[in-house]
Amino acid sequence: MPQNCCFSVDWGRVTAVSPETAIIETENLTKMFKDVVAVDDLNLQISKGEIFGLVGPDGAGKTTTIRLLVAILDPDSGWAKVDGYDTVREPEPIKSRIGYMAQQFNLYGDLSVWENLNFFADVFEITGQERSERIERLLNFARLNEFRDRRAAHLSGGMQKKLALACTLIHTPDIIYLDEPTTGVDPVSRREFWDILTELHLDGITLFISTPYMDEAERCSRVGLMNDGKLIVCDRPEKIKRMISGELITLWPSDMRRALPLILDLDGVLEVQTYGDQLRIFAEDAAEIDSRIRDTLSEASIDILDMRRTQPRMEEAFISLIQHQRVEAEEAAS
Amino acid sequence: MINWRRVLSVMRKEWWHITRDKMSFFLLIVSPMLILITFGYAFSIDITNVGIGIYDQDLSPLSRRYINQLHSTDALRLEAFPENMQDVDRLLMRGDVKAVVIIPRGFARDLQSGDTAAVQVIVDGTNPNTAGHAIQHIGAHTENFAAKQMEAQLRRAGYTASLEAPIDLRIRPWYNPSLRYTVSMIPALVGVVLAVPAMAASLALSREREWGTLEGLIATPIGRFELILGKLIPYVLTGMLSVPLCVLTAVYLYNVTFQGSFLLYMLLALLFLFATMSIAMLISVFIKSQQAAIMASMMIFLFSGFFMSGLLIPFALMGPLLQMEALLLPTTHFVIISRSIFVKGAGLTELRGFAIALLGIGILSFVLTSLMFKKKL
C-alpha cells in the first residue's frame, strides 16, 4: 500500500504537482488529543484549482485536518503551508486568503441573511460599491435573494448551508475548505449545492472538501482516503477504483448468513463485502469462479436469486482499502 | 493596525444579539433595578416602633407620667399591659413585645421620698438589633424622666439651680442627620447591583463558543483586540441604561436624597461598568460554557459584591488578606463612590483615587483579555 502515494502517481489531466504550484502542502503533519492520534503523519500536496475530496469514516481525522489547514489548530509535529504561509507562524495571511465552512452551522442565527453577509463583508474589509455588489451577487448565486431578511435560524438546513457558503465567499478567497458541507441536507439541495461548487471550481478556486458520501467523492478531481488519522490513499477517483485487485461479482443469495462462510472458503476469492441482501465478491478470475459458486451454493441448497459481473464503485474500493489497512495495522501490532 | 470599521461592525452585531435576546436585555438593563427593589427592603429597615409591654404594679400618677414619657417618641410603642408575671412570660414568648418594663409597687413613694426607685426591664435577646434598640430608648427615656424628677425635688427643697452638665456635648451627624440606616445602605446597594450587568457580558464569548460561531470567526483575519473591544463597548453602553433606573429607584422608592452631581455619578459608573465588564470578558476567555461563566460571574459580582465590598462588613473590619482581595474588586471602590456622591455630594477631587483604581482594574483586565484570547481552538 503506497503511503505517500501523492508523490508518485501520474496526474493525468490534473496539473502536475510541483512545489511551485502546490497551494496546500503538509509534511508529516501530526495532531494528538491526549493519547489519541487524530492526524497521523499526513503528507499532502494540493495544487491550485483542484477539487480535493477528503473521505473517510467518522472519527477518521477529517475535521482535525481541516482545522489544522485553516490555522485555527496547531499541529504537534510536522508542518502545513497554505499558499506558502506556515499555519503556525503566519496564520493571519492565510486567513485572509481562505474561506472556511465548518461542519456545524456557524452563522448567527439571530441575524438575518443580509446581516450575516454584511458582517462578514466588514470582517474581511470589503467596502463601498464592491461590497453591495458582492452581497447582491452572492444572494443570487446562493439563491437566497427572497430570504434576505429572514433570520438565519429560520432557514432550512440546505439554505443555511448555502448562506454559510456565501459568507465564506464574500472576500473571493483562493481556497475554500468545506467540512462535510452536505451532511444532513436533502438530495435535491445537495445536487444544487454541488452545482454551485462546480461553478466555483470553474472559476479557478481551489476546493478542499471533506465528505462521508462516496458519490460526492467521485465528483472530486482527486480524493484522499483517511482512516484512523492516516491517509491511506490519495489519487484520482478512477485510479482508486482500479486499485482493488481482482474482478467484482455481485451475488444475491437466498440465505446470506449461510452463503457468506461458504464463499469465503473458496479458492480464488480475494475479499467479500456485504451490502444488505447482496454479497460483493472480489475474485482473481470472475468467469472461473462463477461455476464454483453455483456448485457450492446448490450443494448447500441455497438459491441464487441473481449473480452478475459489476464495475467496482468508490464505495467498494474504500471498504476494501480500509479493510486492508486494518489487517496491516493488526499485523504490525502483533 | 486596528480597523475601526471592524470594531464598529462587531459592536453592531453584539447590539443585535443583546436586543434580540430577552435574557441579555433583562440582565443588562432591568435586573439591577429589580434586585435593588427586592433587596433594598431587607437592607434598609430603620428600626422604629418596637413594641413593649408595661407591667405597672404601682398604678400611681407618677408611674403614669413615666409611662407617658416612654412613648413620647415613635421609637417605642406601648403594645400590652400585662397584669402578672405569667402574662409577661407569655407576651415575650409569643414575640408580641420585644421588652417589658416592670414598675414595682412603691415606685412613686421611693421617688418622692428621695430614695432610689427601681425599674426592671426584661428584654427579648433573640434579635440583638431590636433588643439593643429597645434598651437604648428605654434607657434614654428613663434618664430623661429621672432628671426631671430630680429638678422638681430640688425646686421643692428651695434650690433654683437647673441641672446642667459641666460639658455641653452636642453631637451633630452630618450628611445623614437622623442617622437613617437606609441613607447609608441604599446607595451602597446601588453600587453592588450595578455589577449585575457584567454577568451578561461574561456570556459574550462563551455564547459564541457554544453556538460554534467562534470557530468561524477565528478563521477570519479579524484581530482579537478588535473582537474584544467590539464586544465590550455595546455591553458597557447598554449597561449604562440601568444606572439612571437604579438612581431613580433609590431616590423615589427609598427616599434617599441625591446630594451630588448626577453627571459625575454617570461618569464614574461608566468606569465601573468598564472595569466589571472587562473582568467578565476575562472570565469568558477562560470559562468555556455559558452556564459555568454565569456561575463564576455570580460568585465574583454578586456574592463578593455583597460580602466583600464593604456593603455589609465595613472595610476596616476585614483582615489584611481580605482587604487586598476587596481592593481588586471594582465594587469595593464603586460602593464608596456611590455612598459619597449620594450622601455627601462628593466631587471628583475627593473620589479621584477610586476613579483611578476603577480605570486601572478595567485597563488591566482588558489588556489581559486581549492577550489571553487566542485565535485557536
Which of B2, B5, B13, B214 has the most A C-beta neighbours within 10 Å, making it the best mutation to test the interface with A?
Answer: B13
- Nearest residue in A to B19, CA atom: A110
Confidence grade of residue A5 (pLDDT, cut at 50, 70, 90): very low
Q: Do A119 and B212 touch (CB under 8 A)?
A: no
Looking at 3.30.465.10, 3.40.1710.10, 3.40.1020.10, 3.40.50.1970, the CATH number of the domain B50-157 comes to 3.40.1710.10
Q: What is the mean pLDDT of residues B170-188?
A: 82
Task: Say if the Cβ atoms of B216 and A127 lie within 8 Å.
Answer: no
- Report the phi/psi class of residue A186: left, alpha or beta, with left for phi > 0 and alpha for psi in -120 to 50: beta
Q: What superfamily would CATH give domain A19-241?
A: P-loop containing nucleotide triphosphate hydrolases (3.40.50.300)
- Cβ–Cβ below 8 Å for A108 and B213: yes
Q: Over chain A, what is the mean pLDDT?
A: 88
Taking CB atoms within 8 Å and a gap of at least 24, the contacts of B141-149 are B141/B69, B141/B70, B141/B72, B141/B76, B142/B66, B142/B70, B144/B69, B145/B65, B145/B66, B145/B69, B149/B111
Q: Average pLDDT in the A244-270 region?
A: 89
| Mutation target vs A (from B22, B24, B25, B213; most A CBs, 10 A cutoff) | B213
Question: Could you give the count of Cα atoms lying within 13 Å of B169 in the half-sphere of its Cβ?
Answer: 2
pLDDT band at A212 (very low <50, low <70, confident <90, very high): confident
Per-residue pLDDT, averaged over A150-166, amounts to: 92
* Predicted pLDDT of residue A286: 86
pLDDT of B167 > 90? The answer is: no
Do B123 and B137 contact (CB within 8 A), yes or no? no
**CB within 8 Å: A95 and B221:** yes
Q: In whole numbers, what is the pLDDT of chain B averaged over residues? A: 89
Q: Is the per-residue pLDDT at B22 higher than 60?
A: yes
Give the span between the Cα atoms of A169 and A154, in whole angstroms: 22
| Least confident stretch, A44-48, B138-142, B163-167 | B163-167
Whether A69 has a pLDDT exceeding 90, the answer reads yes
Per residue, the 3-state secondary structure of chain A, as one string, reads CCCCHHHCCCCCCCCCCCCCCEEEEEEEEEEEECCEEEEEEEEEEEECCCEEEEECCCCCCHHHHHHHHCCCCCCCEEEEEECCEECCCCHHHHHCCEEEECCCCCCCCCCEHHHHHHHHHHHCCCCHHHHHHHHHHHHHHCCCHHHCCCEHHHCCHHHHHHHHHHHHHCCCCCEEEEECCCCCCCHHHHHHHHHHHHHHHHCCCEEEEEECCHHHHCCCCEEEEEECCEEEEEECHHHHHHHCCCEEEEEEECCHHHHHHHHHCCCCEEEEEEECCEEEEEECCHHHHHHHHHHHHHHCCCCEEEEEEECCCHHHHHHHHHHHHHHHHHHHHC
Q: Does A172 touch chain B (CB under 8 A)?
A: no
pLDDT-derived band of residue A8, with 50, 70 and 90 as boundaries?
very low
Whether the per-residue pLDDT at A122 is higher than 80: the answer is: yes
Q: Do A100 and B213 touch (CB under 8 A)?
A: no
Query: Quick one: pLDDT band at residue B277, thresholds 50, 70, 90?
Result: very high
State which H helix or E strand residue B266 sits in.
helix B262-286
Q: In 3-state terms, what secondary structure has residue B78?
A: strand
Return the closest-CA partner of residue A72 out of B372, B211, B375, B288: B375
Closest CA of chain B from A273, distance in Å = 38
Q: How much is the pLDDT for A3? A: 41
Contact A123/B at CB under 8 A = yes
Interface of B with A (CB under 8 A): 3, 5-6, 8-9, 12-13, 16-17, 20-21, 211-213, 215-222, 375-377
Q: ipTM, 2 decimals?
A: 0.81
- Angstrom CA distances, B310 to A126, B120, B184, B191, B338, stand at 51, 38, 11, 11, 12
Given a cut of 60, is residue A135 above it in pLDDT? yes
Asked if the C-beta of A328 comes within 8 angstroms of chain B's C-beta atoms, the answer is: no
Query: Residue B103 gets which letter from DSSP?
Result: E
Range scoring the smallest mean pLDDT among A18-27, A98-107, A308-317, B331-340: A18-27
What's the confidence (pLDDT) of residue A143? Answer: 87
Q: With CB atoms and an 8 Å threshold, state whether B377 touches A106.
A: no
- pTM of the predicted protein model: 0.81
SS3 B81: coil
Residue A192 clears pLDDT 60, i.e. is over it? yes
Fold (CATH) for A247-311: Alpha-Beta Plaits (3.30.70)
Lowest mean pLDDT among A80-89, A94-103, B238-247, B311-320: B311-320
| Every domain of chain A and the residues it spans | 19-241, 247-311
Buried b (16+ CB within 10 A) or exposed e, A104-131: ebbbbebbbbebbbbbbbbbbebeeeeb
* β-bridge partners, B77: B51
Q: Is B324 exposed, middle or buried (0-12, 13-18, 19+ CB in 10 A)?
A: exposed
Q: Name the minimum distance, in Å, from the CA of A6 to any CA of chain B.
A: 27
Tally C-beta pairs within 8 A across A and B. Answer: 74
Q: What is the mean pLDDT of residues A195-222?
A: 91
pLDDT value at position A6? 40
Q: Which residues, in sequence order, are bridge partners of residue B232?
A: none
**Which of B21, B220, B377 is opposite residue A124, by nearest beta carbon?**
B220
Mean predicted confidence (pLDDT) in A49-78: 94
Kindly state whether A70 is in contact with chain B, defined as any CB-CB distance less than 8 angstroms.
Answer: yes
Backbone φ, ψ for residue A208 (5° rounding): -120, 110
A1 close contact with B: CB closer than 8 A: no
| Distance between CA atoms of residues B210 and B17, nearest Å | 14
CA angle A125, A126, A128 (to 5 degrees): 125
Q: What is the predicted pLDDT for the residue at A276?
A: 86
- How confident is the model over B90-115, as pLDDT tens digits? 999 998 899 999 999 999 888 888 78
At B45-89, the pLDDT tens digits run 677 788 999 999 999 999 999 999 888 888 888 989 999 999 999
pLDDT-derived band at B339 (thresholds 50, 70, 90) equals very high
Q: What is the C-alpha to C-alpha distance for residues A97 and A74, in angstroms, rounded to an integer?
A: 18
B234 neighbourhood in chain A, CB within 8 Å = none
> So where are chain B's domains?
4-44+176-372, 50-157
State the average pLDDT over residues B248-261.
92
Q: Which of A122, A130, A160 to mutate to test the interface with B (most CBs of B within 10 A)?
A: A122
E strands, chain B, in order: 50-56, 76-80, 99-103, 120-123
What is chain B's Cα-based Rg? 29
- Looking at the DSSP bridge assignments, the partners of residue A271 are A282
Spatial distance between the Cα atoms of B274 and B228, rounded to a whole number of angstroms: 12
Using the beta-carbon criterion (under 8 Å), do B216 and A70 form an inter-chain contact?
A: no
- Report the SS3 class of residue B222: coil
CA distance readout (Å), A101 to A56, A164, A182, A199, B108: 18, 6, 11, 17, 96
Q: How far apart are CA B224 and CA B372, in angstroms?
A: 10
**Chain B: residue nearest A101 by CA?**
B216
B192 or A329, higher pLDDT: B192
Does the pLDDT value for residue A11 go beyond 50?
Answer: no
3-state secondary structure of B250: helix
pLDDT for A145 beyond 50: yes
**C-beta atoms of B6 and A125 within 8 A:** yes
- The residue ranking higher by pLDDT, B40 or A113, is A113
Local structure of residue B115 (DSSP, 8 states): P
Q: Does A285 touch chain B (CB under 8 A)?
A: no
Probe site for chain B from A73, A98, A106 (most B CB atoms < 10 A) = A106
Q: Which of A115, A85, A73, A91 is nearest to A22 (CA)?
A: A85
pLDDT at A82 over 50: yes
